[in-house]
Amino acid sequence: MKVIPAIDVVSRKVARLYMGDIGKATVYQLRPIEALRKWEQEGAEIVHIVDLDAAHGRGSNMEVILQLIAEANVEVQVAGGIRSLDKALMLLEAGASRVVIGTVFIEKPELAKEFIRQLGSDKVIVALDHFKGKVAIRGWREITDRPLIGEVRRAKEMGFNWVLISSIERDGTLSGINEESIEEIVKLGDIKLLVAGGVSSLDDVVKAKRAGAYGLIIGKALYEGLINLREAIRVGLREV
């Protein structure tokens, strides 16, 4: 299993939210480029970069994102406010390995299909942010009535290979991951499942791997020093 550090960017700075609330952002002293270098040096193979301002419709950190892509020596996947093919193409042409879409998948299924047709199923990750089993959109601000498992099935049927599930009620809380929900989705088969939200210890890395996740995205626990990335990567590679 891949262990993937997150670099969330707010106003050009590294930050972490609490349950998706941008008004409760914890801003860190580390600059985004410093965070990238740190995680590369500690063995990351993939870095997950999120433009939180773009996700919440309150600006963009595109200059910072493009710098990170250009400077990266590892795979970079980019999320946050990617709601057009043009933006996705620009990020991929700049060197991003994958782009992440969420709102587009829920609100504009035909456009989501076009993402696959034009970019390829290995270049697009469907993000299904969820609150108590229901999918959220628009930077987690709007909870829909769509059940998470149903939307994962739909993504699979549409031909998406990558799905990212993020637990809003656990995000930034360090309350642990939900192993059962991961297992339920893994049983659907043929999906590279990425998991985020609530990771607090190496036990969560073990749980995610045991449940069958392809990758585990970690944010706050790394920045708060609760998890050492090198150790987490070793656990992710270990047999469980």
Comparing CA positions, the residue from 46, 43, 49, 42 lying closest to residue 14 is: 49
Within 10 A of 181 (CB to CB), how many other CB atoms are there? 18
Choose, from 8, 51, 53, 171, the residue flagged as catalytic.
Answer: 8
Active site (annotated) includes residue 203: no
Choose, from 21, 86, 122, 129, the residue flagged as catalytic.
Answer: 129
Active site (annotated) includes residue 8: yes
Rounded-to-integer distance, Cα 230 and Cα 233, Å: 5
Rounded-to-integer distance, Cα 207 and Cα 137, Å: 27
- Tell me the residue type at 68: L
Report how many helices (DSSP H) and strands (DSSP E) the chain contains, helices first.
Answer: 11, 12
Comparing CA positions, the residue from 56, 8, 10, 59 lying closest to residue 36 is: 8
Q: Catalytic positions, please?
A: 8, 129
